[in-house]
Amino acid sequence: MKGLFLYGLKCRPWIWDGMKSDLADCDIEYVEYPEDVTKRCVSVSELSTWVEERYLSNGQAYDFVLGHSMGGLIALQLSALDGARFKKTIFVDYFLNSPEPFYQNLMMEANVATMGNRVFKMLSEEDAKYTAELKKSLKEDSDDMGLLARIANQVFGIYGDRGNRDRSVLLRNLNLDAQQLGKLDISFIPDSCHLPMLENPHKLAQRILSILQQG
């Protein structure tokens, strides 16, 4: 399985490191956004265009695309393109609508104690590499139902469960409408928040593999 991985705003490719051994049998291209690109992009759509030109314009086909947070929006935008070459689209903790405050935590409290310093340092150092306009567009650039309607392949959403195992509570707090719920296959990673690839990488990798194995 050949895949394209897209990280979120103010992150770095190392966020995927904890899953690489579990995903070793997949042929994954881990995208890195160059600083000279992010410093000139004024919208997520513009960054999506860069990814398209860099990774898709040569006719390269991927079995799946996966994006975290902002990368999830990029994954959706790429999948909605005419002639998009993905069989599956997966986003991780990207919110189609504004969720309830339940989803606001970045990490579980116990994980802040063990990995918070490295994560907060990354977020602080990467912040200046993105324009204010791009950050603003992350909330305004998403026309999510329009995107979903234009995507022919399967779309999967994965979220951290914030330590809550009640699926009805988790779904309700996402504030998704009936159309969105009908289009998406949604699952939750236990004991993680916005960064399940760091907080519970093995479970996230297992979920990704189970998605890839579906017909």
pTM metric for this prediction: 0.95
CA 129 to chain centre: 19
Residue 177 has pLDDT above 60, yes or no: yes
Average pLDDT over residues 119-147: 87
CB neighbours of residue 177 within 10 Å: 11
The per-residue pLDDT of the chain, averaged, comes to 94
Q: Provide the domain limits for residue 122.
A: 2-213
Domain count, the chain: 1
> Which CATH number belongs to the domain containing residue 81 in this structure?
3.40.50.1820
CB neighbours of residue 206 within 10 Å: 15
Give the range among 26-40, 82-96, 170-184, 192-206 with minimum mean pLDDT: 82-96
Note the pLDDT tens digit of each residue in 37-85: 999 999 999 999 999 999 998 878 899 999 999 999 999 999 998 766 7
Q: Quick one: pLDDT band at residue 9, thresholds 50, 70, 90?
A: very high
For residue 147, the model assigns a pLDDT of: 85
